[in-house]
Amino acid sequence: MQKVRVELEERSYNIMIGNGLLKDIGKTLRKFEFSNKIALISNPTVSALYGETVSGALKDSGFNLTEVLIPDGEEYKSLAYTEKIYEALLKARLDRKSALVALGGGVIGDITGFAASTYMRGIDFIQVPTTLLAQVDSSVGGKTGVNHPLGKNMIGSFWQPRLVWIDTATLETLPRREFLCGIGEVIKYGVIWDREFFEYLEKNRDKILKLDPEALTHIIQRSCEIKAEVVSKDERESGLRAILNYGHTIGHAIETITGYKKYLHGEAVGIGMYMEAKLSQQAGLIDRQEVVRIKALIDSYGLPSEMQGEMSVNDLIETMQLDKKTIGGKMHFVLPEKIGSVRIHSGITAEEIKSLQDN
């Protein structure tokens, strides 16, 4: 089992990573000072696969367990379903020392974290992420939230989990397309922070795609270490943490324009990472060879790096201007300067984005 520590003073916590960890969660949670009543939040897809193992482990350790299922899908990451969680917790009389356990992907992790941050003014929660994206990104760092009809992730809080419990074996049942979405975020860590890790991803593609446990543990651990380091330095995204948005400024705009239907998140990020690398090259900040290598890695994992079909750059620009990352009308981009290092750039003009089309 591997351990990564997220250092945040009294809010510090461990991320534990290993193959076959789910069955040990009960014993582990017993070591915390939680009250006996805890709740397991999941969705029917994940619960059918892993619910029994986790609930069995929790009950065997003596916990009085309330189980809450949220339908599977991004549209259920909403205030209405947060209320359903509150209702179940209140009916079961969970108290201020109770904890919530989120078993699932980023949707379950985000809504559970948000419910935990507001139930009785805030109770503890544990992340048990079962998608690669959740294991390397959303379960770490304490961003929680739900969607509003007028915008994705618009309602939320910063609320750190007490523990992140990652069982790499859960990835065996994850649809391949979802797995690759997580790889998009893993590649992101290489580009923004660690050239050696980027090279590891180049050299070990076959092992990773075959879900070799050692390779999986390594990429999850390294990704979590990088995210932990960034979050420890800037928990509330007043500066450095924004580098985690590499590929996301354009990626989010692509998701919005295509109505969240054509591309999954990690696929839109794949396209965003290449377009933002090209923006950087246009601005003279990075060598062409580096950009070619970034595109080659994205492509080699079977992620898209370019939009298919018609794209109106004007739509893209307009959408980015509405994004919550746009502050005072200025679009902020995370631009790579070389593989392993990025800078935040606010001086990119609409004209420069338009000229991406011709390159």
| Site for ligand NAD, rule CB under 6 A | 43, 45-46, 49, 72, 74, 77, 104-108, 110, 130-131, 133-134, 137-138, 141, 143, 153, 170, 173-174, 178, 181, 265
Determine the Cα–Cα distance for residues 40 and 42; give it in Å rounded to an integer. 7
Determine the Cα–Cα distance for residues 183 and 247; give it in Å rounded to an integer. 13
Could you say which of 241, 252, 265, 332 contacts ligand GLY (CB under 6 A)? 241
**Residue 352 beta carbon to ligand NAD: minimum distance, rounded to whole angstroms:** 27
The contacts of residue 227 (CB under 8 Å, 6+ apart) are 136, 137, 140, 141, 189, 244
The listed partner (ligand GLY, ligand NAD, none) that binds 218, CB under 5 to 8 Å by sort, is: none
Three-class DSSP category at 267: helix
**Residue 93 beta carbon to ligand NAD: minimum distance, rounded to whole angstroms:** 28
Determine the Cα–Cα distance for residues 28 and 54; give it in Å rounded to an integer. 12
**Residue 133 beta carbon to ligand GLY: minimum distance, rounded to whole angstroms:** 10
**Where on the phi/psi map is residue 26: left (φ > 0), alpha (ψ -120 to 50), or beta?**
alpha
Angle between helices 195-203 and 176-193 (to 10 degrees): 140
Residue (of 86, 96, 97, 94) closest to 35 by Cα position: 97
**Residue 296 beta carbon to ligand NAD: minimum distance, rounded to whole angstroms:** 24
Nearer to ligand GLY, 143 or 218 (CB): 143
Q: What string marks each residue from 127 to 166 as x (binds ligand GLY by CB under 6 A) or -? A: ----------x---x-x-----------------------
Residues labelled as active-site residues: 121, 143, 185, 227, 237, 241, 245, 248, 252, 265
The CA radius of gyration of the chain, in Å to the nearest whole number, is: 20
Determine the Cα–Cα distance for residues 118 and 113; give it in Å rounded to an integer. 9
Nearer to ligand GLY, 137 or 323 (CB): 137
Nearer to ligand GLY, 93 or 236 (CB): 236
Nearer to ligand NAD, 106 or 190 (CB): 106
Determine the Cα–Cα distance for residues 115 and 235; give it in Å rounded to an integer. 20
The contacts of residue 333 (CB under 8 Å, 6+ apart) are 249, 276, 279, 344, 345, 346, 348
The listed partner (ligand GLY, ligand NAD, none) that binds 244, CB under 5 to 8 Å by sort, is: ligand GLY
What does the block give as tokens for 152? 């994705």
Residue (of 339, 116, 138, 294) closest to 224 by Cα position: 138
Using CB under 6 A, which residues numbered 298 to 327 contact ligand GLY?
Answer: none
**Residue 136 beta carbon to ligand GLY: minimum distance, rounded to whole angstroms:** 10
Counting residues that bind ligand GLY (by CB under 6 A) gives 5
Determine the Cα–Cα distance for residues 22 and 56; give it in Å rounded to an integer. 10
**Residue 28 beta carbon to ligand NAD: minimum distance, rounded to whole angstroms:** 19
The listed partner (ligand NAD, ligand GLY, none) that binds 45, CB under 5 to 8 Å by sort, is: ligand NAD
Nearer to ligand NAD, 38 or 108 (CB): 108
The listed partner (ligand GLY, ligand NAD, none) that binds 332, CB under 5 to 8 Å by sort, is: none
Q: What string marks each residue from 44 to 83 as x (binds ligand GLY by CB under 6 A) or -? A: ----------------------------------------
Determine the Cα–Cα distance for residues 168 and 179; give it in Å rounded to an integer. 12
What does the block give as tokens for 223? 């990704």
The listed partner (ligand GLY, ligand NAD, none) that binds 46, CB under 5 to 8 Å by sort, is: ligand NAD
Find out whether 224 and 140 touch, Cβ atoms under 8 Å.
yes
Q: For the chain, give me the number of helices (H) and strands (E)?
A: 15, 11
The listed partner (ligand GLY, ligand NAD, none) that binds 279, CB under 5 to 8 Å by sort, is: none
Determine the Cα–Cα distance for residues 293 and 198; give it in Å rounded to an integer. 10
In the bound complex, which residue of the shown chain has the CB atom lying closest to ligand NAD? Answer: 106
- Which stretches of the chain bind ligand GLY, using CB under 6 A? 137, 141, 143, 241, 244
